[in-house]
Amino acid sequence: MRIEGDTVDAVRESWLIEDRWWTDRPLRRRYWEVVTTAGRDSIVFRDLVDGRWYRQR
């Protein structure tokens, strides 16, 4: 996996968020805290409703 041109070196943590399941717009996301080979710490997530990937920081 690559984030903005950097290769992911390690995954520090992963977690699942499920909220607003009772609404028309539920929130389901899988998050990963990763470290790239350049030493950057980033949080990325995949929206499990629309299937898209996002970088949080």
| pTM summary value | 0.81
Does residue 30 carry a pLDDT above 90?
Answer: yes
What average pLDDT score do residues 48-54 get? Answer: 92
Q: For 5-14, how does the pLDDT look when each residue is reduced to its tens digit (9 = 90+)? A: 788 999 999 9
Q: Give the model's confidence band at 48: pLDDT under 50 very low, under 70 low, under 90 confident, else very high.
A: very high
Q: Give the model's confidence band at 16: pLDDT under 50 very low, under 70 low, under 90 confident, else very high.
A: very high
Return the higher-pLDDT residue of 5 and 34.
Answer: 34
Q: Which residues contact 39 (CB under 8 A, 6 or more apart)?
A: none
- Determine the 3-state secondary structure of 57 from DSSP: coil
